[in-house]
Amino acid sequence: MLIVAGLGNPGSGHAGNRHNVGFMAADEIARRHSFPAWRNRFRSEIAEGEIGGEKILLMKPQTWMNLSGDAVGEAMRFYKLSAPDIIVLYDELDLPPGKVRVKTGGGAGGHNGIRSIDSHCGKDYRRVRIGIGHPGDKALVQRHVLSDFAKVDSEWLQPLLEGLAEHFPLLAKGEDSTFMNRMARAREDNAADAPNRTARQQ
């Protein structure tokens, strides 16, 4: 069994925030793989299903981002799992918009949700880092992550979420490198098609 936690902040006012891209990814995975409706448990919205032959517990912690580990740790202990059984989906300032990287362990990189999960679950879980770009000035970071994606971002964001959900079975089976290769190829294809989309819209 795997716990797959998408990170974000609860409430409709945060739904479109860059900081909530983990929630968005979890929603797309649930939709793509026909999970049942979300329900409340472990201080989270959860949905259970199967992907790539693995039983999956999808979670969207409702504890606020900075306390994400409270919810993920509770589920981990209930199912008697450990850090390697956890995949976390979250926003990454240090990656360009639309780029995705997977790694196991490492530091929190200033991300309070990851810092919280580290403290409750240990560090040896897989991190799916979804690039949202950096505003260029440290003083602007909080406003950047807590602001909604711009309308133009939909050109790369929706294909990214759809690709992540489509290729998620590779992650479920532990084929992280193949997953990243597929995501990179999809990003290149989407970028190559951008001029055609612009021409169609004119």
Sequence-ordered list of residues with C-beta below 8 angstroms from that of 184, at least 6 positions apart, any chain: 99, 100
C-alpha dihedral, 65 to 6 to 124 to 80, nearest 10°: 100
Phi, psi for residue 27 in degrees, rounded to 5: -60, -40
- Rounded to whole angstroms, the Cα distance separating 82 from 146 reads 31
C-alpha separations of 158 from 21, 143, 144 in Å: 11, 22, 19
Closest CA to 63 of 109, 110, 5: 5
Q: Are 7 and 121 in contact (CB under 8 A)?
A: no
Q: Which of 19, 33, 111, 144 is catalytic?
A: 19
Residues recorded for the chain: 202
Structure tokens at 68: 């994400």
Task: Respond yes or no: is residue 14 known to be catalytic.
Answer: no
- DSSP secondary structure letter of residue 149: P
The CA–CA distances, whole Å, from 5 to 27, 71, 125 equal: 11, 9, 11
Tokens representing 182 are 């597929």
Residues designated catalytic: 19
